[in-house]
Amino acid sequence: MVEAQGIHKYFGHNHVLRGVDLMVRKGEVVVIIGPSGSGKSTFLRTINHLDVPDKGWVRIDGELLGLRAGATDMVAVSDATLSEQRRQVGMVFQQFNLFSHMTALDNVMAGPVQVLRTARRTAANDARRLLALVGLEDKAASYPEQLSGGQQQRVAIARALAMHPKVMLFDEPTSSLDPEMVHEVLQVMLDLSQQGMTMIIVTHEIQFAAKAANRILFMEDGNIVEQGTPTELVNNPRNERTQKFLRLVTGGF
């Protein structure tokens, strides 16, 4: 379903990703953990080319994203093609990034109406259904500023789902939420995973990862250092750095 191969990324002289490989099967939930600065968010952003990889490639369902074979080398596709390919990949951001001049309903409808050219009435019905799915059917007319962080993030999830993506990327979706709102967002994500959505999640919520993930990856210094099932990785990490990181985030000493 999602295949990333040899992803390298530089920010100036900073070598942020050093050849990351990842294969995600349909319906699989993969959680990426690791210390800040390990490149996990950047890696997630290279999957839909929000950050274009300097080397390596990404395939969604076998189709190369953002690149095509040129005469001698791989070249970037046009903006229109890249935009079309991105429809298959939903993304949820740490800062929600809801369109601040639109109501919750319009936020969810924006993609279908503007990108897929869905009729407004159909898009509105679909958007209402999605808002109900994330438990916010009564907030359709609210503007982002009138919603709590947790509500905004749930609208953002509905907005991504409205494009019927094949895979959902979550970039630290609960990191800027007040503690009491973390649960409502994680619950929506857990429901999604149980409905068979393919998901790649960058998070610090180890308990959630243990519960929802099929596989956990530990990233450090731009590499995947260790990966395994939650039981293997959380209860029985082999790598010394993974052990140290887990001790720190679970509050152990």
Partner 1 sequence: MWDWQTFFHYLHSLYLIEGAGLSLALSIGAMVIGLACGLLAALMRMSRHRLIRQPASFYVWLFRGTPVLVQLIIIYTGLPQLGIKLGVISSALLGLGVNEGAYLAEIIRAGVSAVPRGQFEAARAIGMTRTTTMRVVVMPQALRIIIPPLGNAFNGLMKTSSLASVISMEELLRRTELLIQVQFKVLEIFIVAALYYLLMTTLWGFVQHRLEAHFSRSVTASSRSRDKAQQIDLAGAVLTHDAT
Give the interface with partner 1 as residue ranges (CB under 8 A).
48, 50, 79-80, 83-84, 86-87, 89-91, 93, 95, 97-101, 110-111, 114-115, 143, 145-146, 156, 159-160, 162-163
CB of 243 to partner 1, least distance (A): 35
Residue among 106 and 226 whose Cβ is closer to partner 1:
106
Q: Which is nearer to partner 1, 43 or 93 (CB)?
A: 93
CB of 180: closest distance to partner 1 in angstroms?
20
Query: Which residue spans within the chain are E strands per DSSP?
Result: 2-11, 14-24, 29-33, 55-60, 63-64, 67-69, 74-76, 89-92, 167-171, 198-202, 215-220, 223-228
Do the Cβ atoms of 199 and 170 come closer than 8 Å?
yes
Q: What distance in Å separates the CA atoms of residue 132 and residue 121, rounded to the nearest whole number?
A: 17
Q: Please identify, using beta-carbon distances, which residue of 142 and 214 lies nearer to partner 1.
A: 142
Distance, CA of 87 to CA of 153 (rounded, Å): 19
- Amino acid letter, residue 181: M
CB of 223 to partner 1, least distance (A): 25
Judged by beta carbon, residue 1 or residue 210, the one nearer partner 1 is 1
Q: Which of 237, 45, 110 is nearest to 227 (CA)?
A: 237
Q: Which residues 6+ apart lie within 8 Å of 235 measured at CB?
A: none
Residue 1 or 50: the one with the smaller Cβ distance to partner 1 is 50
Q: Which residue matches tokens 């390596």?
A: 56
CB of 233 to partner 1, least distance (A): 28
Q: How many CB atoms lie within 10 A of CB 100?
A: 10
CB of 169 to partner 1, least distance (A): 8
CB of 122 to partner 1, least distance (A): 17
> Which residue lies nearer to partner 1 by CB, 90 or 150?
90
